[in-house]
Amino acid sequence: GDLDKVVNLLLSLSGRLARVENALGALGPHAAAEDEVTLREKQRVLAAQLEDAKELREHVGRREEAVGAMVARYLPPEQLQDYRHFVKMKSALTAEQRELEEKIKLGQEQLRCLRESL
């Protein structure tokens, strides 16, 4: 459960940071200075939060290794291999699900913008 939460947090922060960086890149020469200052501050805060989340992921990873070592004492090799595969795939699938949700959201936003422009 903690692994899912941390992976989702990392993906969320990465996505938010990317959107802020895209917004900064899209600022035109006539953009208000306060808009850029606000976006730069958001970028700074999100980057710091992302670093904290990476440290949290490392902590969860160390705990996962400790749990894996304990589980290895009680499971036969075949079941242990299944357990390790499950943990690995769960993280990968959570990340993939989040990425697909972001793509769907982006597609819906682009579709809305296209409809508004027509």
pLDDT, tens only, 31-78: 788 888 999 999 999 999 999 999 998 998 899 889 889 999 999 999
Indicate if 56 and 15 belong to the same structural domain. yes
Confidence check: pLDDT of 3 > 80? no
Indicate if 67 and 29 belong to the same structural domain. yes
Indicate if 11 and 65 belong to the same structural domain. yes
Q: Which residue has the tokens 């949700």?
A: 101
Indicate if 62 and 96 belong to the same structural domain. no
pLDDT score at 78:
94
Rg for the chain, CA atoms, rounded: 20
Indicate if 44 and 81 belong to the same structural domain. no
Indicate if 2 and 47 belong to the same structural domain. yes
pLDDT score at 58:
92
Indicate if 42 and 5 belong to the same structural domain. yes
Indicate if 109 and 63 belong to the same structural domain. no
CA nearest to 79, candidates 64, 68, 65, 92? 68
Indicate if 32 and 8 belong to the same structural domain. yes
- Give residue 91's domain range: 77-117
Q: How far apart are CA 37 and CA 70, in angstroms?
A: 50
Counted domains in the chain: 2
- pLDDT, tens digit (0-9, with 9 covering 90-100), for 86-107: 988 887 888 788 889 888 988 8
Indicate if 32 and 82 belong to the same structural domain. no
SS3 76: coil
Length of the chain: 118
Q: Residue 2 CA to chain centroid, in angstroms?
A: 14
